Structure 1
Amino acid sequence: MPVAPAVEIALSAAERAQLKKMAHGHRTEHRLRVRAQVVLHAARGRSNAHIARETGLHLDTVRTWRGRFAEHGLAGLADRERSGRPPSYTALQVAEAKALACRLPAETGVPLARWSCPELALELTARGVTGPISASTVRRWLAQDALKPWQHRSWIFITDPDFRAKAQQVLDLYARTWQGVPLGEDEYVISADEKTSIQARCRCHPTLAPGQARAMRINHAYGRGGALAYLAAYDVHRAKVSGRTEPKTGIDPFMNLVAQIMTQEPYARAKRVFWIVDNGSSHRGQKAADRLTAAFPNAAMVHTPVHASWLNQVEIYFSVVQRKVVSPNDFTDLAQVRDRLRAFEDRYNATAQPFQWRFTTSDLDGLLARLDRHSADHQEQSSAALAA
């Protein structure tokens, strides 16, 4: 049979420029680059057989893309839409799976704390929503709406009626202000608290130092060498910390820390020293504030709001201690714990800079507004659940 003549290709200047960009562009997909080369060869009047030899393509492939361009132009070089395999699950089944994931397992009679993808897959099959289904399929469905029912977050509502006023006092002190008046050079801000129950875990086998392609190895088994409390006072603006260890926490251990700080300079002769503390039993309420002032008249206690220890900067220092001193816990006895904590204080004070505290009163107002909205939403959901 006679072979049909090759389709003639005539290019405009714009089409030629675009095809050259496709044919030689480094970021062009390989398939589009090859198709553009076919059309450029055809525009030079070359036969399909010649183009097939030049590009290494099958003759039928060259004929296809030459004909597609002649009929549809540049748009003809794109892939045609394909129907693909029909979906195995309906949109209704996907929606029911997501709805189940958004319910607490206890509400459905399932004795689980939270859903996992394998558990959801089993439950969908048990309910007859789907046939046997894999956990990976369920996970892919949930990912479409960023649903992760196996995760959870906790929160607590504000219970302190004076939350904002107390928090603003703390934030003002961090900004070196008290009751609208800037602090003087002889006024200081101390952030203090206790880190309880630091254990001395005596490992049953020596710790192995890290080596090539090997992490440090800590033996899992250990003997208990006792525990102690670490009390620390952090000077917010001077970035100086002073601490002590005690067998346990309490009023007397905390006052021992206060005496240790307030009998040293520059605090002993300071005009005022503000002590920021949380509402722990060692320094809770007005009695603790009166006790502090009675012992040291130039000291004033400022409490953070209830459930707001995160406003206390010494907690940041304790997190540093946890990461750099306590973990992994490997001590021979409590004496070694005490020595290492004291040595770390010296090391920290040698190079420490004040924390870059960025949470301001405007951030506080925004936080309270968000909490109010969450509280209102929670009450509405609770009311709807009771009504149902």
Structure 2
Amino acid sequence: MPRTGRPKALLELTIEEREQLVRWERRRKSSQALALRSRIVLACGDGWSNADVADQVGCSTNTVSKWRARFVAHRLDGLVDDPRPGRPPTVSADQVEDGVVTTLESTPENATHWSRAMMAQRSGLSSSTIGRIWKAFGLKPHRDDGFKLSHDPLFVEKVYDIVGLYLDPPESAVVLSVDEKSQVQALARSQPGFPMMPGMPEKRTHDYVRHGVTSLFAAMNVDDGTVIASTHRRHRAIEFKKFLAKIDQTVPEDLDVHVVCDNYGTHKHPAVKTWLGKRFRR
């Protein structure tokens, strides 16, 4: 008698199962393993033998037999991987939540922020575990940043005006962002530098001579990035008024000037306000 081989399990697909298998087979986000299993079951559902299915999808007959039997026993759920064996997690979700909440909402005694060692001592977890929890939630207790809230009752209106100037400058006008940098050191190298030559970089001495400090005033045109600048020994209202006069002389007379600056006291000095009050353009 001819050998018929091991009898294979009868596999019949419902309409819903076939539609789901087709989606798994064609979906780009499906894993390759799930797509292969879906093709195997679809071919088996069409009545193909294990050997023919193996040749069609490019796998062994043992693989086809395994997933045929798994599908017959558990249907679609049988195509999903079983949980992999391994050590169960030693850190519970409650411990993770406690560590995150404590880091965010409290500070340790006699310290400004939590360190990994202090949090490990408090929670009973290891320092490396605390580090992994902080990294997963993007927590960096050792870092801080500063901010300032304005108490100006017209703060919102002023923000709208300034942002509007930056994003949509008016026609026939120049918008300048103005600020000053004080205590700029005027340094010079103690020896002349050697120029660059083929195969040799430019050389300069590591030491320098101090020539005091200066204050840099700068106004950047927010439209084209050009800068009007000047230096002064100090940064009082007198120097700021001189810088405004330089802006007035540099910008063509047919253009209005909008100057955006911070709330520094020099910018609001009565002498500056008087000078601005005498100008025909604003």
Normalising TM by the smaller chain, what interval? 0.5 to 0.7
- CA shift in 2, pair 1:110/1:97, >3 Å: farther
Give the counterpart letter for 2:239 in structure 1. P
How do 1:347-358 and structure 2 match up within 5 A? none
Checking the alignment, whether the CA contact within 8 Å between 1:272 and 1:298 is kept in structure 2 is no
Q: TM-score, normalised by structure 2?
A: 0.67
Match of 2:118 among 101, 123, 136: 123
Partner of 1:109: 109
CA distance in 2, matches of 1:20, 1:168: 55
Match of 2:179 among 167, 190, 193: 193
How many Å apart are 1:92 and its aligned residue? 3.5
CA distance in 2, matches of 1:142, 1:110: 21
How do 1:312-351 and structure 2 match up within 5 A? none
Question: Which stretches in structure 2 are left out of the alignment for 5+ residues?
Answer: none
Residue 94, structure 1, aligned to residue 79, structure 2: no
Give the counterpart letter for 1:88 in structure 2. T
Checking the alignment, whether the CA contact within 8 Å between 1:271 and 1:298 is kept in structure 2 is no
Which of the two has greater helix per residue?
1
Question: Which stretches in structure 1 are left out of the alignment for 5+ residues?
Answer: 178-182, 210-215, 301-388
- CA shift in 2, pair 1:230/1:89, >3 Å: same
How many Å apart are 1:204 and its aligned residue? 8.5
How many Å apart are 1:130 and its aligned residue? 1.6
- CA shift in 2, pair 1:125/1:282, >3 Å: closer
- CA shift in 2, pair 1:220/1:95, >3 Å: farther
Match of 2:280 among 298, 301, 304: 298
Checking the alignment, whether the CA contact within 8 Å between 1:199 and 1:228 is kept in structure 2 is yes
* Larger RCO, structures 1/2 (Cα 8 Å, 6+ apart): 1
CA distance in 2, matches of 1:109, 1:80: 47
Which secondary structure does the structure 1 equivalent of 2:215 belong to? strand
| CA deviation vs aligned residue, 1:121-161 (integer Å, no higher than 9, x gap) | x224423x325x142x3244345655443442322122345
Residue 79, structure 1, aligned to residue 85, structure 2: no
RMSD: 4.7
Which secondary structure does the structure 1 equivalent of 2:241 belong to? helix
- Identity of paired residues, percent? 24
Partner of 2:239: 253
- CA shift in 2, pair 1:41/1:203, >3 Å: farther
CA distance in 1, matches of 2:154, 2:14: 76
Q: Which range moved further: 10-19 or 148-157?
A: 10-19
How do 1:213-252 and structure 2 match up within 5 A? 222-223=207-208, 225-226=210-211, 227-234=213-220, 241-252=227-238
CA distance in 2, matches of 1:18, 1:165: 57
Give the counterpart letter for 2:68 in structure 1. R
Match of 2:262 among 261, 278, 284: 278
Give the counterpart letter for 2:141 in structure 1. P
- CA shift in 2, pair 1:89/1:207, >3 Å: farther
Give the counterpart letter for 1:285 in structure 2. H
Give the counterpart letter for 2:49 in structure 1. R
How do 1:10-25 and structure 2 match up within 5 A? 10-11=12-13, 19=21
Which secondary structure does the structure 1 equivalent of 2:263 belong to? coil
CA distance in 2, matches of 1:17, 1:89: 41
Checking the alignment, whether the CA contact within 8 Å between 2:189 and 2:205 is kept in structure 1 is yes
Checking the alignment, whether the CA contact within 8 Å between 2:215 and 2:233 is kept in structure 1 is yes
Partner of 1:159: 151
How many Å apart are 1:239 and its aligned residue? 6.7
Checking the alignment, whether the CA contact within 8 Å between 1:250 and 1:281 is kept in structure 2 is no
CA distance in 1, matches of 2:74, 2:186: 78
How many Å apart are 1:88 and its aligned residue? 0.5
- CA shift in 2, pair 1:277/1:32, >3 Å: closer
- CA shift in 2, pair 1:292/1:38, >3 Å: closer
Match of 1:46 among 40, 46, 49: 49
The count of corresponding residues between Structure 1 and Structure 2 is 270
| CA deviation vs aligned residue, 1:12-67 (integer Å, no higher than 9, x gap) | 5775676566567765423223323443554444257x7678855473x5433211
CA distance in 2, matches of 1:62, 1:223: 79
CA distance in 1, matches of 2:80, 2:206: 64
How many Å apart are 1:68 and its aligned residue? 1.7
Give the counterpart letter for 1:253 in structure 2. E
